[in-house]
Amino acid sequence: MKRASIFYLTVLACFLSLLLFAAAGNVDSLSMAFSSERTTDGLYDGPSLETPQRVRPPRLKGSYNFAGEGLPMEDMDVRKRLDRELITNTFYHSSTQHVLKHKSAYFPIIEPILREEGVPEDLKYIAVAESAFRDFRSPAGASGVWHFMKGTAKQYGLEVNGEVDERYHLEKSTRAAARFLKDLKQQMGTWTLAAAAYNRGAAGVKTKIQEQRAETYYDLNLNAETARYVFRIVALKDIIEDPVYYGFFLEAQDTYQPDYDFTTVSVTQSVPNWGDFARQYGTTYRKLKVLNPWLRDDKLTVSKNSYEVRIPRR
């Protein structure tokens, strides 16, 4: 028995040695075989021992438009600039996934307001480009989903102070943005230039048009952010409208709906503490702030205005 065991172990050792020798001698040819599988367009279509991932850029479609205004896709410069934004947002997975998950909570609120104001629904993609549906303050001071600056927000009827900042009120800020964009369209002539002016300021864009004798946004040589701005909007629009084309697969249960069903309370007197107010209505400070992100302090001073505050239904 002992001799038989030694014999079998010796045979096994020889067999393993032969396998290792064969593998060492053929690894290069195996690598070449894997790497040489190509598609008819010259791209690798098989596994690679060096880089097991397959990353392909999104391919441009035949036509694109923003608010009914077509992009001049015959212009190679335009194609390259749009291609850059499609690549950036296709592979910026965390931000793009965030947008795709939240659009079902935001677009049903934004779209009816844009229709009521008589502006194209495509303007909703400006909010996506500005904030990706995140209520944050930019380094320049722009705030809310539409990223209003304080002066512009007040000009269009939004209240902005230490206790109340209606730039964070989705319905009110959307209506203000629609009216602002209508005014920009009247000044600039096209929705595309209006979008550029939303980012750069009407005066800045007008100056560049005059200096460069340009006729369209696509003819302008602008600062880096504004030069990319409309292309980012168009890229986000196409990804949101056709996510599967860009490799994003979300089912209904993956998307977000509004956080809470709510009712509204009219506040006509000052509120010393929102925590006490929340307890009075059977909710929490956190839920109150989630439903009313425009309440920026832990108290509210009511002088002449009344405020409609949302609270979760019990």
Give me the half-sphere count of Cα atoms (radius 13 Å) on the Cβ side of residue 271: 25
User: Are 263 and 311 a contacting pair, CB within 8 Å?
Assistant: yes
pLDDT means per 10 residues, the chain with 314 residues, are 53 54 45 45 54 82 97 97 96 93 95 98 97 87 94 96 96 98 97 97 96 97 97 98 93 84 95 97 96 96 92 87
Taking alpha carbons only, the member of 119, 116, 118, 111 closest to residue 170 is 111
Helix (H, G, I), strand (E, B) or coil at 66: strand
Whole-number pLDDT of residue 34: 40
Whole-number pLDDT of residue 20: 53
pTM of the model as a whole? 0.82
Rounded distance, CA 144 to CA 136, Å?
6
Domain ranges of the chain: 1-53, 70-254, 262-312
CA angle 89, 91, 97 (to 5 degrees): 70
User: Are 212 and 219 a contacting pair, CB within 8 Å?
Assistant: yes
Rounded distance, CA 94 to CA 259, Å?
21
For the chain, what percentages of helix, strand and coil (3-state, to nearest 5) are there?
A: 55, 10, 35
User: Are 247 and 90 a contacting pair, CB within 8 Å?
Assistant: yes
What would the CATH number be for the domain defined by 70-254?
1.10.530.10
Whole-number pLDDT of residue 304: 81
Taking alpha carbons only, the member of 64, 108, 81 closest to residue 237 is 64
